[in-house]
Amino acid sequence: MITKSTKAKVLILGGSGFVSGVLAKRAIAAGHEVSVVTRGERPLPSGAHSIRADRTDRAAFRRVFEGISEGFDLIVDCICYTEDDAAQDVELFSGRCNRFVFISTDSVYDPASRSFPQDETDAVFLADGYGGDKRRSEVVFQQTPADRLPWTILRPCHIYGPGSHLGCIPRHSREPELVARIRSGQPLELVGGGRTLIQPLYVEDLVEVILACADNSRSIGGTYNVAGPTTIEAFRYYEIIAQTLSVDLRFVEIPFGPFWESEVRFRGYLCHRLQSLRGLEIAGLPLPSIGPEIGLPLHVQSVLSN
């Protein structure tokens, strides 16, 4: 991992978002020189250098980086959502960085064909929607020689932590008012009673893996699941929030079958999301260690304090 004793030049695409913001703060605190690509719509972490650019304006985005002569030790793309975005990365950053990390998602796996646990290779992938777009982005990198762009792909599961909204399944996924709702005693509507299994990933654990890729040569050209250390039911996720608030969790169960059939876009969040972390272990990347019994109360406290 790049450390305080090794000052590195880090470029983060999307550095004012949730994961990217935490990553920028951690890298700055470690003494690294951090630049972030942003449209300038949100404040950046203190100490970050802003590169104003909108990647959807392909020509303008290219001109920005054609005007930057120096390379980077680590580039992390947190806002690559399409194969065109991925192709843009390959075009602009090949030969200009020592390591490149693409933040993908476990939503690339077909929810109807998952293994338990799911590894990175023996998989059926989605072709449509958010997961399908991310999968096509992955393929662009996977078809790029690693000696041209030394890439690593990370597939995190549900990420939580200060700076994001809580909630892991419909109808209460990433809900801004979730803490207030539970605190006031309003019942939640949990599809299937919240009995699907998840491995919530605390954002600091993900950031540690990202930074560890910077000087881990074994992870070059690799694709890795990243998930939390503890498997729980989605119901337990919400119960921990309620316990932190010292209230009872009230909920009503939404029948699973009809919701699954009618709300196709939510299927990736309504399957058992169990991931093998053997790939991380073999590559020598750090295994996540912060479980939801510790991480969720920290997240709740951050919501209350803000």
In a domain, 85, yes or no: yes
In a domain, 189, yes or no: no
In this structure, what CATH number is given to the domain that contains residue 208?
Answer: 3.40.50.720
Predicted local distance difference test score (pLDDT) of residue 3: 52
All residue ranges of the chain with pLDDT < 70 are 1-5, 15-16
User: In DSSP terms, which residues pair with 196 in a beta bridge?
Assistant: none
In a domain, 1, yes or no: no
In a domain, 81, yes or no: yes
The set of long-range contacts for 123-127, using a CB threshold of 8 Å and a minimum separation of 24, is: 126/268
Answer whether 205's CB lies under 8 Å from 271's CB. no
Predicted local distance difference test score (pLDDT) of residue 217: 96
Task: State how far the Cα of 24 lies from the Cα of 22, in Å rounded to an integer.
Answer: 5
> What is the extent of the structural domain holding 117?
9-161+201-228+275-288
Distances (CA, A) of 262 to 194, 257, 259: 18, 9, 5
Number of CB atoms found within 10 A of residue 96's CB: 16
Distances (CA, A) of 113 to 91, 107, 197: 34, 12, 15
In a domain, 55, yes or no: yes
Task: Classify the phi-psi angles of 185: left when phi > 0, otherwise alpha if psi is within -120 to 50, otherwise beta.
Answer: left
In a domain, 301, yes or no: no
**Tally of domains within the chain:** 1
According to DSSP H, which parts of the chain are helical?
A: 18-29, 58-66, 83-93, 129-142, 178-183, 203-212, 234-244, 256-262, 278-283, 292-305
Buried b (16+ CB within 10 A) or exposed e, 151-173: bbbbbbbbbbbbbbbbbbbbebb
In a domain, 130, yes or no: yes
Task: State how far the Cα of 36 lies from the Cα of 91, in Å rounded to an integer.
Answer: 19
In a domain, 2, yes or no: no
Minimal CA–CA distance to 102: which of 110, 92, 90, 111?
90
Predicted local distance difference test score (pLDDT) of residue 105: 97
- What is the 8-class DSSP label of residue 233? E
Predicted local distance difference test score (pLDDT) of residue 5: 55
pTM (2 decimals)? 0.95
